[in-house]
Amino acid sequence: MRADPMNSARLAGVALFVLAVASSLRAPAPAPRKPAAGPDPAAILALKGDFERGRELVFESTLQCRACHRFGTGEEKLGPDLGEIGKKYDRAKLLETLLDASKEIDPKYATTLVETTSGAVHSGILVETTADRIVLQDPEKTIPIPLASVRRRVTQQKSIMPDSLLQALTPQEAADLLEFLRGLR
């Protein structure tokens, strides 16, 4: 099946197949929408966060935010610029975004999955469509794919941003991160 060159292509017929492939590429265990043993939003929101410690978490720890986001300055990244995110969301909404990234997702950041005629499967954000190729972008690389070698393609309303980002943080660290994000305006 040939992919429609328009981004709006929703190849319902192949969706189940590709979703199956996709889930095998993702976390080994089927990820529940909200991890049962994950961070407790109420506990995090009850804590007072520290802006500076939150900044350190983003800029000086192994948290991956900067792989996908710029914070007002620096090169364009895959995800939205967070330089003024504090104007857009309050703490509760920010936390919800971090715990459940796919709940509300701008279609321009939806994940596209492509299976090629050689059987390879790529996923990323669709950043370019021309008459003869499409280009996917993931956090590490740009993936140009000639249309002639696209066997199947489907767009998922699933964010490329992992829902598990806060798992490694203590509730206090999560509160610090929220305080930092809230201060970006």
Distance CA 126, CA 143 (A): 9
DSSP H or E stretch at residue 88: helix 85-88
Binding mask 92-131 for ligand HEC (x = CB under 6 A): --x--xx--x---xx--x----------------------
**If we measure between CA atoms, which residue out of 147, 135, 151, 138 comes closest to residue 11?**
151
**If we measure between CA atoms, which residue out of 143, 136, 178 comes closest to residue 160?**
136
**Judged by CB under 6 A, does residue 78 bind ligand HEC?**
yes
**Judged by CB under 6 A, does residue 91 bind ligand HEC?**
no
Give how many residues touch ligand HEC by CB under 6 A: 24
User: What is the 3-state secondary structure of 116-130?
Assistant: ECCCCEEEEEEEEEC
Using the contact rule CB under 6 A, the part of the chain among 15-23, 46-54, 82-90, 143-151 near ligand HEC is 82-90
Q: Looking at beta carbons only, is 139 or 171 nearer to ligand HEC?
A: 139
Distance CA 106, CA 124 (A): 14
The token duo for 22 is 């996709």
The token duo for 44 is 């995090």
**Judged by CB under 6 A, does residue 55 bind ligand HEC?**
no
Among 85, 113, 134, 154, binds ligand HEC (CB under 6 A): 85
> Within 147-166, which residues bind ligand HEC (CB under 6 A)?
159-161, 165
State the residues that interact with ligand HEC by CB under 6 A.
63-65, 67-69, 78-80, 82, 85, 88, 94, 97-98, 101, 105-106, 109, 139, 159-161, 165
